[in-house]
Amino acid sequence: MMPNLRITDSFQSHASSSGARGSIDRRIRAFLSGESHGEDVLGALYGATAAEPIPERLLALLKA
């Protein structure tokens, strides 16, 4: 797939420790390589947003 994939080091300034950064790197790489479905990565990125209800107008549009 992408053997030369490099996760940028910009995340390191936001992580509290290198262990946290390593965990994120492993989860993203597992998703990109097809080893996981990425639920944990999406949950970490969009957790609160994903729990919001879908607006009625959008539901109506999708049903049409």
State percent of the chain over pLDDT 70.
67
Cα 31 from Cα 25, distance rounded (Å)? 10
Q: Whole-number mean pLDDT of the chain?
A: 76
Place of tokens 């999406």: 42
Q: Compute the average pLDDT of residues 13-40.
A: 76
Place of tokens 């729990």: 51
Cα 42 from Cα 22, distance rounded (Å)? 17
Q: Compute the average pLDDT of residues 30-47.
A: 85
Residue whose C-alpha is closest to residue 11's, from 45, 35, 48, 36: 45
| pLDDT beyond 80 at 17 | no
| pLDDT beyond 50 at 23 | yes
| pLDDT beyond 50 at 12 | no
Residue 15 DSSP one-character state: S
